[in-house]
Amino acid sequence: MIQRLKKDYGFDQPIPIQYLRWLGRAATGNLGTSILTGRAVTGELASSISNTFILAIAASLVGFTLGSLFGRLQAITREAGSIRS
């Protein structure tokens, strides 16, 4: 069983050959099959990418809002300090 798995995944080949085969498949969009689920890795990534975009947009909105707020507060406190001096 172990020998069959090594052959199926190409682990019986030298590392440079494994790398070149992986590189060729990755360049064409074939990232292989997930060992955990048995589904195509490309499909697994596609289902996760929407969540990544949602998190990125939310983080950008929070960062922009807080950055603008703190920037304005700093400008107000600096302006108030220069008027007193």
Q: Look at residues 27, 2, 25, 22 and name the one whose alpha carbon lies nearest to residue 12.
A: 2
Greater confidence (53 vs 77) lies with: 53
Tokens 């969540």 sit at which residue? Answer: 51
Residue 57: predicted pLDDT = 98
In the chain, domain spans: 1-30, 40-85
Q: Look at residues 14, 47, 42, 16 and name the one whose alpha carbon lies nearest to residue 28.
A: 42
Residue 67: predicted pLDDT = 97
pLDDT digits over 8-62, tens only?
888 999 999 999 999 999 999 888 888 888 889 888 888 889 889 999 999 999 9
Residue 65: predicted pLDDT = 98
Report the distance separating Cα 55 and Cα 49, nearest Å. Answer: 10
